[in-house]
Amino acid sequence: ITPSDNMLIFYAGHGNWDEKNSIGYWLPSDAAARVLDNWLMNSIITKFVSESKARHTLVIADACFGGSIFRTRALKPEEEKSMAELYMRTSRKAMTSGDLTEVPDESVFVKTFVQKLTDNRESYLTTENLFFSIKPSVVNQADLIPQFGTIKNSGDQRGDFIFFRKK
């Protein structure tokens, strides 16, 4: 991965939130219940993202307690920027299917995400615009509130991951 690349990390699976220690985890397929050896802490994901050389990184997590990746930060609305400026600035964003809640196995979030990308007719689609087009459908169809924001301490420079429509 070079500074000219975009990296999208997609995780669909189980997650956990340790309320006592305020730590979120992703649970890979080989993870055992109550054995943290194979669990992946959000801080490890954040470190990986911050060390990436990619210009733009977008983490999409469709997992229980996926929103815990935002737990140590306050979300602030992004300023509107021209498309070129958004693309030139480094971005480290995440989009999750829920906050600190369990999510269903059959994902309304992923279904809506794929449908919005499939139906898109714009040449450029920012992640922020994509998220806000997905959120109402997920909220209306499932008992979830999807989350979107910057991954704290990851090197974000207020850019945006932009989807380019292939013709």
* Per-residue pLDDT band at 76 (split at 50, 70, 90): very low
Contact 68, 15 (CB under 8 A): yes
- Please tell me the distance from the alpha carbon of residue 154 to that of residue 54, in angstroms, as a whole number: 12
The per-residue pLDDT for 100 is 81
CA atoms of 149 and 156, how far apart (whole Å)? 10
Residue 141, pLDDT score:
92
Over range 63-89, report the average pLDDT.
62
Q: Phi, psi at residue 58, to the nearest 5°?
A: -125, 125
**Of residues 18 and 73, which shows the higher confidence score?**
18
Contact assessment for residue 93 and residue 7, using Cβ atoms and an 8 Å cutoff: no
Q: Is 34 left (phi over 0), alpha (psi -120 to 50) or beta?
A: left
Report the amino acid identity of residue 99.
D
- pLDDT category at 33 given cuts 50, 70, 90 is confident
- Say if CB 144 and CB 138 are below 8 A apart: yes
Burial class (CB in 10 A: 0-12, 13-18, 19+), 151: buried
Instruction: Please state the pTM of the whole predicted model.
Output: 0.77
Burial call 14-44: b when 16+ CB within 10 Å, e when fewer: bbbbeeeeebbbbbeeebeeeeeeebbebee
Q: Is residue 95 pLDDT above 70, yes or no?
A: yes
pLDDT digits 0-9 by tens, 107-141: 999 999 999 999 999 888 999 999 999 999 999 99
